[in-house]
Homo-oligomer: A and B are copies of this chain.
């Protein structure tokens, strides 16, 4: 383990399309190195002391200006707080807004590691079926009523409605409105994981569900995808009384603002204009990778009857191989040097996604992505010939 710094160390020769991690060469190392020393000097003791529990005000102001450009609504000062990243924020939400035995509804399929974070709390997760277009509002209403009819409390709904992890799909405007309507009629609170908003490749991202109804949504944003995940800085937009629950929690009272120092640095990165240029660079870099992956999938896998939708943003392409079991296929794929995440991992208790898989196009170059898909096609080809259907 000596010398290790990053979470992900690729095995030599393997193209690991399982991991939703950024491309190391796209991380803004030099620009952050250039700005960070002067950020420390500029903010002086305030940047190193316990931070404002809401977050550094300059960072909050810069973020509000940014959201004015990339979302349909700008949070008021009291509708926003800085977090220690989305994973930590999901954990906080579970601690602060659920009680033991509560039910949290989760989209199916959904971000598998969010399920793990939630499962570290004494709550029960119940899946709401989605489809290729994302969370279905009617299914959500039905499932809410069904669970409540059992006398149980439904506290929250978790979903990734924009450039979804794992499907890459985004809720249509109609579905967003219908979802907001169900949140109101059923008295639900949506945890909107909005991690991929900045990584939009075909025009701007659709408006957040939070912007549709800021009284019913905790929208979790992050700088992990748009700047650097190691900073561990994100944000939440939510009703003022819920923001207050964050900023007046025991943790905030004792430790001050989440990730304070890194959040101060992020504020300077935004104010300097470096953030906007970094996002442009990432969009263009990841767009090319998305195109390379989607092109290779069409070239190599269409012949096997594969189905997929080219995502308009984010890190992921969701691939369905009718008749194949992608969990079984994985060892054959590994044997030829390519990895992915089988679809079942994104379903609670593995109830679904048997013939699907998630490919991340974020970490590897266009050439490596094409090679990875070629390898995957070889594994699919031999599985099909062997009749592992």
Contact = CB atoms under 8 A, between A and B. Distances in A.
Given A4-B52, A87-B254, 19 more contacts: A3-B57, A4-B57, A5-B51, A21-B49, A30-B41, A33-B41, A36-B36, A49-B229, A49-B230, A84-B259, A87-B255, A88-B251, A90-B254, A113-B253, A113-B254, A116-B254, A119-B250, A120-B250, A232-B262
A149 interface: no
A40 B50 contact: no
Contacts of A48: 27-29, 32, 228-231
Nearest to A363: B49
A58 B117 CA distance: 27
Given A88-B255, A122-B122, A24 B6 contact: no
A109 interface: no
Nearest to A23: B45
A7 interface: yes
B122 A6 contact: no
Contact of A5 (B22, B47, B253): B47
Interface stretch (A95-103, A168-176, A330-338, A352-360): A95-103
Nearest to A116: B250
A46 interface: yes
Interface string A316-344: 00000000000000000000000000000
Given A50-B8, A231-B261, A262-B262, A77 B24 contact: no
Interface in A175-219: none
Contacts of A2: 57, 61
A46 B2 CA distance: 14
Interface in A212-257: 224, 228-232, 249-251, 253-257
A32 B47 CA distance: 11
A259 B229 CA distance: 10
A117 B25 CA distance: 39
Nearest to A46: B5
